[in-house]
Amino acid sequence: MNSSEIIEKYNSAVVRSYGRLDLALESGSGAAGIDADGRRYIDFGSGIGTNSLGYADSAWADAVSAQAHRLQHTSNYYYNSTTAEFAAKLTAMTDTDKLFFGNSGAEANECAIKIARKRSFDKYGDQNRTTIITLVNSFHGRTVTTLSATGQDSFHNYFFPFTPGFKYVEANNIQALREAIDDKVCAIMFEFIQGEGGVIPLNQDFVDEIFALARKHDLTTISDEVQTGVGRTGRLLAAEHFGVKPDIVTLAKGLGGGLPIGVCLTRGEYANVLTPGTHGSTFGGNPVVCAGGLVVLKRLSDEKFMAEIAHKSEYFRRSLEALPRVKSVSGIGLMLGAELDGIGAADVLKLALDRGLLVLTAKTKLRCLPPLTITCEQIDAGMAILKDILS
Ligand SMILES: Cc1ncc(COP(=O)(O)O)c(C=O)c1O
C-alpha cells in the first residue's frame, strides 16, 4: 500500500478522535523514519517522547523479539523473571520502593490518584479529605478522572459528569498554592515541566513550597513524569534537577522504548497503600514490554549515554536559539519549546513535514522531543530545514 491507500483505509475504519497529518510511517532507524512511499524524515518528535531509543533500536528489538518467542503474557496471577527484573531495576534506579504496572500515562496517574486518596482515607477515616491540587495548564491524561485532574477548561467538556475533588492552582504562584490548601486537600500533583501546556518548567521556589506545604499539612506529593521522565531532561527523573523526592512518581512514554507501559512509583508508606483487590490491570507488567524497558534502563544506566544526552541537549538548545524568528527557548534537556515570532508553530510543523522533518507543537510553541539517541548530524539536518522555513 502507498501512503494515500493506507490513510484512506485507516480513516474508513478508525474513529476520528485525532487531528492527523498525512504521513504513513512504515519503518525507521534511530532518529530517521521512512514513509510508505520511501521518503525519509528526521524525527524531532519520537512519537511524542516515546521512542526513547529511536526507531527499531537493534538491542531493544532483539530483546523484545526474544521475549515474545519465550513468553508474551502471564496474567497478574503469576510471576515471571523479566517483569520482576524490570521492577527491581527501575525502583532501584529511581530510589523508590515499589511500583504498580499499567499501560499508559493516564493509567499511571489514575493509580497515583487512587493511592493518594486511599492513603488519606486509611489515615484520617474521612471521605471528604480527598481534594487533589493540580496546576492550571497541566495535562494528566484522557480518562474521565485524569481529564478532571488536568487544569485546562478546554478538556472539561462533553463527558459530564467529571470526577469531583480537583482544585487548580496557577503554576509558580506560591501565594495561590498556600491559599488553596484547606482541610479537604490530601495531595498536590504536578509536572516539573508542563509538556502539553507549552513546555513550561516550574521554578525552584515553587517546587520547594510544594514540598514544604506537603510536609506541614501531611499532603501527598505526586509528580507526573510521564513526559519529563526516562532521561528526557538529561537525568533519569526531572525531580533530580530540583533536588526533591515526591511520594509518588508516574512514568510512561519513553519507558518501554515505544511499547505501552505506565508505572506508578511509590516511596515509603505509599508502597503499602494498595492491597489485594484494590487495583489491577490485565496487561500491566507485560513481559514483552518489560524486556524492551530493560534495554531502555540499561542504556540510561550508562554514564556515557547520559553525558551524551547532556551534550546534545546543549547543542540542540543553542541551535534552536540561533534560528531566525525564535524569540525564546524553554525546557530542560531534550524537552524544548521554541516561541516563534510572526509565524504559527502549527504552520511550521506542516512546512517541516513537507521538507522531511517531524516536529511537534505545544500551545503556541514549536516543541522538540527527539529520541535520546539522535546524533548532532541529525540535529544539524533538522535545524537546516527549520532555518529554511523560518528565514
Ligand atoms: C504529563 C503527561 N501526563 C499524562 C499523559 C497521558 O499519557 P497517555 O497518553 O500515555 O495516557 C501525558 C501525555 O501526553 C503527559 O504528557
> 278-333: per-residue pLDDT in tens?
999 999 999 999 999 999 999 999 999 999 999 999 999 999 999 999 999 999 99
Buried b (16+ CB within 10 A) or exposed e, 291-327: bbbbbbbebbeeeeebebbeebbeebbebbeebebbe
The DSSP bridge partners found for residue 27 are: 34
- What pLDDT was estimated at residue 248? 99
Q: Is residue 69 very low, low, confident or very high in pLDDT (cuts 50, 70, 90)?
A: very high
Measured in angstroms, how far is the CA atom of residue 70 from the centroid of ligand 1?
A: 31
**Ligand 1 pocket mutation, candidates 139, 199, 360, criterion most atoms within 8 A of CB:** 139
What the chain holds in terms of domains, given with CATH numbers, is 3-57+303-390 (3.90.1150.10), 71-300 (3.40.640.10)
Measured in angstroms, how far is the CA atom of residue 69 from the centroid of ligand 1?
A: 30
Measured in angstroms, how far is the CA atom of residue 252 from the centroid of ligand 1?
A: 8
Q: Is residue 124 very low, low, confident or very high in pLDDT (cuts 50, 70, 90)?
A: very high
Q: Is the pTM of this model over 0.95?
A: yes
**Ligand 1 pocket mutation, candidates 111, 140, 360, criterion most atoms within 8 A of CB:** 140
Measured in angstroms, how far is the CA atom of residue 197 from the centroid of ligand 1?
A: 11
Q: Is residue 76 very low, low, confident or very high in pLDDT (cuts 50, 70, 90)?
A: very high
Mean pLDDT of 364-384: 98
* Sequence-ordered strand ranges (E) for 53-130: 98-102
- What pLDDT was estimated at residue 244? 98
Q: Which of 124, 119, 78, 42 is nearest to 278 (CA)?
A: 119
Q: Is residue 125 very low, low, confident or very high in pLDDT (cuts 50, 70, 90)?
A: very high
* Residue list, ligand 1 pocket, CB within 6 Å: 104-106, 109, 139-141, 191, 195-196, 224, 226-227, 252
The percentage of the chain sitting over the pLDDT mark of 70, rounded to a whole number, equals: 100
Nearest ligand 1 atom, CA 191: 1
Other CB atoms closer than 10 Å to residue 282's CB: what's the count? Answer: 9
Q: Is residue 143 very low, low, confident or very high in pLDDT (cuts 50, 70, 90)?
A: very high
Measured in angstroms, how far is the CA atom of residue 362 from the centroid of ligand 1?
A: 13
139 CA to centre of own chain: 10
Mean pLDDT of the chain: 98
145 CA to centre of own chain: 18
* Residue-wise pLDDT tens digits, 6-52: 999 999 999 999 999 999 999 999 999 999 999 999 999 999 999 99
Give the C-alpha separation, 106 to 198, whole Å. 19
Give the residue, by CA position, lying nearest to ligand 1 atom 8: 105
